[in-house]
């Protein structure tokens, strides 16, 4: 599973393997960087090349991208939306299923609290993936959190004697169904 925290200056990418018992293992984490002084097309090309390289090297089975949300800084949200579009396009071109998740969805999945701060997310990612240090920078931790969120939310086969979703995940899915009606 490839998680992407889209951005033009820093685009976090994280690949995790999640086994049948929902245990995550770090495969790759990094940040694709582009200069703020470069032209927008060049910056998007750098992001695209970085994502393609991660897909080619690690061959994830799906891609999850943080959903763009409205911010007061429209310049920032535009760059994030453009990088997100590039990520979704590359997933499609690579034949990979892709999904988006809101920041609060991701935070709730990995910390249990949808308004968790960056440090809380980094701390939980380090615990979940059994890392000796917090993933740095925060964009890298966010990419791993997005990957884990999607892997856990998409369900899939459970190990014998286990439910496909944890009790918390089943409650979350039920609450989402109610909210949509």
Active site residues per annotation: 5, 66, 139
Phi then psi for residue 7, to 5 deg, are -175, 155
d(CA 145, CA 29): 11
d(CA 26, CA 73): 33
Give Dmax over CA atoms of the chain in angstroms: 55
Q: What angle do CA 15, 9, 122 make, to 5 degrees?
A: 45
**Token pair 């060049």: residue:** 42
End-to-end Cα, the chain, rounded Å: 30
């Amino acid at each position: 599973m490839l998680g992407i925290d889209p951005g033009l200056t820093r685009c976090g990418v994280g690949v995790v393997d999640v086994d049948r018992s929902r245990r995550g293992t770090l495969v790759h984490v990094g940040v694709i960087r582009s200069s703020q002084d470069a032209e927008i097309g060049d910056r998007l090309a750098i992001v695209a090349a970085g994502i393609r390289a991660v897909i080619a090297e690690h061959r994830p089975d799906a891609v999850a991208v943080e959903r763009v949300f409205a911010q007061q800084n429209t310049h920032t949200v535009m760059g994030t939306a453009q990088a997100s579009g590039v990520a979704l396009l590359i997933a499609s071109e690579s034949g990979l299923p892709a999904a988006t998740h809101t920041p609060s969805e991701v935070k709730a999945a990995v910390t249990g609290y949808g308004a968790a701060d960056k440090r809380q997310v980094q701390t939980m990612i380090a615990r979940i993936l059994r890392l000796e240090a917090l993933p740095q920078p925060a964009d890298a931790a966010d990419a791993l959190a997005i990957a884990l969120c999607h892997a856990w939310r998409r369900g899939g086969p459970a190990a014998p004697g286990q439910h496909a979703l944890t009790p918390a995940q089943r409650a979350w899915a039920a609450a989402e169904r109610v909210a949509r009606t």
